[in-house]
Each structure stands twice: as C-alpha cells, then as structure tokens.
C-alpha cells in the first residue's frame, strides 16, 4: 500500500514538473505581453478556491523562483572572478540560489508595502498577499534580464557589453513603466505622482538589497581578518 502511495506521489511529481515546461513559457509570454492584465489576474485568482487558482499559468511566487533559478543557472554557466570572493556559505550553489531568491523577493515586498501604505489599507497577511503576488509577476522577467545582462558584461567584449547595457536598461525601463501604470490605476493619481511612487519604491528596494549585500560582505571580511 505504501509502495502504491509512493508511485502515486512520483506520478504527481512527474506531472507537475512536465506541466512547468508548458506553463512557464506561457506565463513568461503573457507577463511580457500583457503585464498589467497579469497583475490583475494574480489578484483575482486568489479569490478562487485553492485547487482552481492559477490553473492556466504558474503561480506568481513559483514563476519568480523559476526565473531566478534560470538566471542563476545562466550566471553559473559563465562564472565571474567575483564569485570566488563571496562568503564561504554562498560558495555553495544551493545556498547562493536561496540567498538570491530572498534578496530579489524584497523587491515585490517593498513595492507591495508602498502601495498598501499609500492606499491606507491596514497591513496583514490577507491584504499583503494579492499585492505581493501581483508584484511577483513583473519582477520575475526582470531577474532574467539581469541574469542575461550580467553574462554579457562578464564576457568582456565591447559589443556584448553594449548589448548587455541595452537589455538591462531596456528591461528596467519596461519595469518602471509597468510600476507607474500599476500605481496610477490603484491610487487613481496622475502619471507624475505614480512614477515618483514607482521609482521611489524601486530605489528603496534596490538600496535595501545593496545594504544587505554590503553588510554581509563586511561581516565576511571581519571574520576573515580575525
């Protein structure tokens, strides 16, 4: 009986893995093509019963994690000298990936907190979830953009470096435009104020990531010195 349960579990696992091969590119395409629609979709799907949520796409947090895993894989395929200077516990590929998932998840979290604050909505697990899920959808493609741009910069060739800059700044512009539209619709404000909210929250998230990384580097350097 236990053996049959194990087979059933493996069957479900195999199905879920193979389904990802279909729904990941679909989710990526829909997010790149219809970002605002997907952000609204993330919100409304949470109103369905759990078994029926995101039946035709990946769930936003899973989508973000897969994009981060792909970006991580791209960078590992073209390692940079700076990787050797990471703290010892980040030299492990699995630890580094989990650390990146945590760091990049700060972005949708900070943007979500900013919107809830501007809307005057009390913060709790239920009010944060739909906003966070919406943010995960458009944050995910940016992790791929950053990963691809990083690889091109590491190659060192002038042409590939230029292409890397075009990809990165183009992706960042797309991201900020989507955030501006999102804040504008949710808050009912003008483009200028919405852009200020989007840029301010994005800069705050980036600053938090940098501070965390610098603090980690300082702690590692201090430990090495002692």
> Does any domain span residue 2?
no
pLDDT digits (tens, 9 = 90+) for 83-102: 555 566 566 677 778 888 88
**Cα(96)–Cα(76) distance, integer angstroms:** 10
The tally of CA atoms less than 13 A away on the side-chain side of residue 15 is: 6
To the question of pTM greater than 0.85 for the whole model, the response is: no
> Does any domain span residue 170?
yes
Neighbours of 20 (CB within 10 A): 15
> Does any domain span residue 174?
yes
pLDDT digits (tens, 9 = 90+) for 146-174: 988 988 888 777 888 899 999 999 999 99
| Torsion sign across C-alpha atoms 55, 139, 156, 211 | negative
Q: For the chain, how many structural domains are there in total?
A: 1
> Does any domain span residue 134?
yes
> Does any domain span residue 218?
yes
Contact between residue 113 and residue 189 where contact means Cβ atoms under 8 Å apart: no
Domain containing 174: what range? 59-225
> Does any domain span residue 49?
no
């Amino acid at each position: 009986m236990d053996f049959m349960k194990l087979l059933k579990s493996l069957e479900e696992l195999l199905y879920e893995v193979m389904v990802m091969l279909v729904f990941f590119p679909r989710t990526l395409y829909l997010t790149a093509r219809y970002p605002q629609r997907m952000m609204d979709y993330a919100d409304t799907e949470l109103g369905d019963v759990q078994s029926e949520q995101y039946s035709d796409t990946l769930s936003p947090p899973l989508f973000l994690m897969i994009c981060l895993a792909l970006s991580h894989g791209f960078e590992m395929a073209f390692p940079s000298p700076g990787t050797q200077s990471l703290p010892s516990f980040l030299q492990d590929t699995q630890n580094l990936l989990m650390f990146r998932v945590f760091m990049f998840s700060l972005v949708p979290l900070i943007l979500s907190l900013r919107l809830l604050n501007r809307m005057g909505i009390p913060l709790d697990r239920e009010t944060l979830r739909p906003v966070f899920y919406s943010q995960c959808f458009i944050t995910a493609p940016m992790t791929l953009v950053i990963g691809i741009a990083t690889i091109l910069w590491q190659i060192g060739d002038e042409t590939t470096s230029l292409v890397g800059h075009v990809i990165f700044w183009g992706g960042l512009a797309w991201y900020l435009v989507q955030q501006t539209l999102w804040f504008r619709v949710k808050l009912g404000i003008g483009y200028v104020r919405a852009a200020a909210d989007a840029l301010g929250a994005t800069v705050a998230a980036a600053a938090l990531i940098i501070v965390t990384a610098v603090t980690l580097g300082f702690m590692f350097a201090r430990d090495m010195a002692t």
